[in-house]
Amino acid sequence: MIKARRVLAATAVGLLALSGCVHDSGVAARVAGATLTEVQVRQAADAVAAADQTNDAGLYLAPVANALVQGLVSGEVAAASGVTLTDATRAETIGANPSLAQLQQLGAGMLADRMADYVYTRTKLGEEAFLAGCAAVPVSVNPRYGNWSKELCSLDGQSGSLSRPAKAATN
Say if 115 falls within a structural domain.
yes
Inside any domain, residue 15: no
Render pLDDT for 86-143 as a digit per residue (tens, 0 to 9).
999 999 999 999 989 988 888 899 999 999 999 999 999 999 999 999 999 999 999 9
What is the extent of the structural domain holding 141?
Answer: 25-155
Considering the domain boundaries, does residue 6 fall inside one? no
Q: How many domains is the chain built from? A: 1
User: Is the residue at 29 inside a domain?
Assistant: yes
pLDDT (mean) for 17-38: 76
**Residue 124 · residue 82 · CB < 8 Å:** no
Q: Is the pLDDT of residue 170 over 80?
A: no
Tell me the pLDDT tens digit for each residue of 46-98.
988 888 787 788 889 999 999 999 999 999 999 999 999 999 999 999 999 99
Report H helices in the chain.
Answer: 2-18, 38-52, 61-81, 87-95, 98-105, 109-125, 127-135
Angstrom distances, CA of residue 149 to CA of 26, 65, 140, 141, 155: 22, 14, 10, 10, 6
In a domain, 20, yes or no: no
Residue 7 lies in a domain: no
